[in-house]
Chain A
Amino acid sequence: MSLQAYIDGIGVLGPGLADWPSAARVLAGGRRYAPAAAVLPAPAILPAAERRRTGRVVKLAIAVALEATAHAGVEPRRLASVFSSSGGDGHNCHEICLALAAADREISPTRFSNSVQNAASGYWSIAVGAMQASNMLCAYDASFAAALLDALAQIAVDRQPLLLVAYDTEYPPPLHAKRPIPDAFGVALVLSAARSERTIARIDAALGEDAAQRLADGGLEALRTAIPAARSLPLLQALANPEPSRTVIDYLDALRLRVEVLPCA
């Protein structure tokens, strides 16, 4: 039992990885990985009022979603979407918990609106005018694979093009000690049911139990295990490679996702 989709666009942003072209060079071995703090751009496509209200989670999700949709050459508003994150906005959550532990318990309405885990999905939909279904999934460290499975199931059932956006950012102290995500990492994929002139690769995915693929570079392997959304790195490496390949990404407990990648360029 395997599920297929065509990848038409990719966006990446993380520590030392500014975008997909530079990440692809690193992952294909053409350039050495140099870790550096992730730099998140302000989301210029949001109206000023919304832009002021957004934190790092929304900036990250919108940045990779924009890169992937531009890469695919699609109108973002035409795409259904699956967003996925291991947690919500950690800084926003911290501020709310601080306020609730204080005497007056006053929390700001904007903080509360932004506390929903689908905040990035909401801001993205507003920014591009996308009225298609937008899902929001969480599966702790397995959040990327959970979103990829839902995206592939949607492609199989609905046959509509779709945007997958998986992202995680850090918590500030004291929550950081309990969930030590070190920095921000986001990945976005545009998936279709049919091949087009934009298609980068075809993927075939199935559940399995083989060990997850590790990355040879110590820095990239550390990144893969430190940030849940970076569990996608073996798949991104296969997509950066011009040859057909097979990779395995982490999912739940003993479950893994085995992915065959067939470049179409």
Chain B
Amino acid sequence: MTPLLLKAFTATSCIGGGLAQTLVSLRTQRSGLRRCDFETVELATHIGAVAGIDAQALPYEWRRYDCRNNRLAELALRQDGFCDAVRDAAARYGARRVGVFLGTSTAGILQTELAYRQRDPLTGTLPEAFDYRGSHNTFSVVEYVRRRLRLDGPAAAVSAACASSAKAFAAGRRMIEAGLVDAALVGGVDSLCLTTLYGFHSLQLLAAAPCRPFDVARDGLSIGEAAAFALLERVPQSLASDAVLLAGTGESNDAHHMSAPHPQGRGAQLAMRAALSAASLDPGAIDYINLHGTGTPSNDRAESGAVHGVFGSAVPCSSTKGATGHTLGAAGALEAIISALCLQNGLLPGGAQTVQVDPGLAVHYITRNRRARARRVLSNSFGFGGANCSLIFTTAG
């Protein structure tokens, strides 16, 4: 594929609002996971909650979109001059030529969960103020961001569970390459809600302690929330040496099971090979792999088999979910931005929380930060329904 430039990018998660805080957390291997105190949830688990969401109001004009998910989107859009970068693209290309493609798994469903507690005792109806389109519907976050930034181009939400926002990068890239848009705002937003907390609890996949991806004693995941965005454009004639490019995307489906990965990571291998092929790179060219690495015994085993199958055991890799938690539909975008930060700052991030790497997992998992110039990074995202997506980012210099 023709590489695309990440003209601007930003991320907000429990390890930081914006790039500077996120980088400090990565450099100090700080984890943002803490004991679950979300809403009225009583589960013995840890969460990666973003500070300041409740205080983040939406512009009055767009109040119908008010919900935790869109407040998180608003909070993240305000970091790193991202709104200005999007406005600048709209001014250069025209608002019709800027697309919006964002991943989310649950959008603002928390509003519906709360509304069901307030059903009319006689009729069962939902409260008058509940706005399905502005909060519950999967498209709500895309519609909010598109209206908020006054963009008029093509748009869609990508909702393929935990691969959603990685696939949003692939969807945006296609739209540029097909000539439908000149810039694509891609990324993902997913926020804490009861459906995912009690849902992963029902599958017995929540760890009680902060998650420990690839650890010999790993016993599940920790749920987090995040919003992460990138503005994709065609690569201009001249580039700063620290510019980051989207060089390859690869997608596949496991065709195996709704909620469990293929044991040997067959579909994951296809996605990684497709991304390498799109980027015209051999496996040996990759300097670091940001793993999906949820911390569940089955995911990490399957992913390690898949990575080993494609790369062998030499490439340094880690999961940053021990720091951020599993941000579900936002994970692909968050880890894309973390990958971009690592490329720009010569950092291979050690996996937080992991103490003793499982000797049965035949990959080069790093638990301590390394200072090393990385030029090409691959990031994995896998989800329920068998959805797999791998992205490759490179530096221009």
A residues with CB within 8 A of B: 1, 3, 50, 53, 77, 86-88, 93, 96-101, 105-109, 112-119, 121-123, 125-126, 128-140, 143, 146-147, 149-150, 152-154, 156-157, 173-175, 177-179, 207, 251-255
B87 is an interface residue with CB less than 8 A from chain A: no
B117-144 with Cβ < 8 A to chain A: 117, 119, 124-126, 130, 132-133, 136-139, 142-143
Given contacts A135-B171, A138-B138, A179-B137, 12 further A-B contacts (CB under 8 A): A87-B138, A96-B195, A97-B113, A100-B113, A106-B202, A108-B202, A116-B160, A118-B387, A125-B255, A131-B270, A138-B156, A147-B156
Indicate if the CB atoms of A154 and B154 lie closer than 8 Å. no
* B252 engages A131 (CB within 8 Å): yes
Whether A117 pairs with B159 at a CB distance below 8 angstroms is: yes
CB-defined A-B contacts under 8 Å, sample of 20: A93-B112, A96-B195, A100-B113, A101-B117, A112-B202, A112-B259, A117-B160, A118-B385, A121-B253, A121-B387, A122-B253, A125-B386, A137-B157, A139-B157, A140-B137, A146-B156, A150-B156, A154-B174, A177-B125, A252-B155
B392 to chain A, nearest CB (A): 16
A113 near B259 (CB under 8 angstroms)?
yes
CB of B55 closer than 8 Å to a CB of A: no
Instruction: Indicate if the CB atoms of B258 and A113 lie closer than 8 Å.
Output: yes
Q: Point out the residue from A100, A137, A252 that lies within 8 Å of B158, measured CB to CB.
A: A137
A115's contact among B175, B179, B199, B255, by CB below 8 Å, is which? B199
Q: Are B155 and A178 in contact (CB under 8 A)?
A: no
Bound complex: CA A105 to CA B194 (Å):
9
Residues of chain A with a CB closer than 8 A to B274's CB? 133
CA distance A139 to B142 in the complex (A): 8
8 A Cβ contacts from B147-184 to A: 152, 154-161, 164, 167, 170-171, 174-175, 177-180
What residues of B have a CB within 8 angstroms of the CB of A157 in the complex?
1, 174, 177-178
Is B254 interfacial (CB 8 A cutoff)?
yes
Q: Which residues of B contact A147 (CB under 8 A)?
A: 156
Chain B residues with a Cβ under 8 A of chain A: 1, 96, 105, 109, 112-113, 116-117, 119, 124-126, 130, 132-133, 136-139, 142-143, 152, 154-161, 164, 167, 170-171, 174-175, 177-180, 194-195, 198-200, 202-203, 251-259, 266-267, 270, 274, 383-387
Residues from chain B with Cβ under 8 Å of A253 in the complex: 152
- With beta carbons under 8 angstroms apart, the residue of A97, A122, A137, A153 that contacts B178 is A153
B198 & A100 in contact (Cβ 8 Å cutoff): yes
Q: Output the least CB separation between A226 and chain B (Å).
A: 16
Distance between Cα atoms of A87 and B108 in the complex (Å): 13
Chain B nearest CB: distance from A188 CB in Å?
A: 17
Q: Are B255 and A126 in contact (CB under 8 A)?
A: yes
For B156, list chain A residues within 8 Å (CB).
137-139, 143, 146-147, 150
Query: In the complex, what residues of B have CB within 8 A of residue A112's CB?
Result: 195, 198-200, 202-203, 259
In the bound complex, what is the Cα–Cα distance between A146 and B252 (angstroms)?
A: 20
Q: For residue A140, give the distance in angstroms from its CB to the closest CB of chain B.
A: 4
Kindly state the separation between the CA atoms of A252 and B157 in the bound complex, as whole angstroms: 13
A112-B195, A119-B258 known; A87+B112 contact, CB < 8 A:
no
Cross-chain contact of A153 among B105, B174, B195 (Cβ < 8 A)? B174
Q: For B385, give the chain A residue with the smallest CB separation.
A: A122
Contacts of A156 in B (CB 8 A): 177-179
For residue A114, give the distance in angstroms from its CB to the closest CB of chain B. Answer: 7
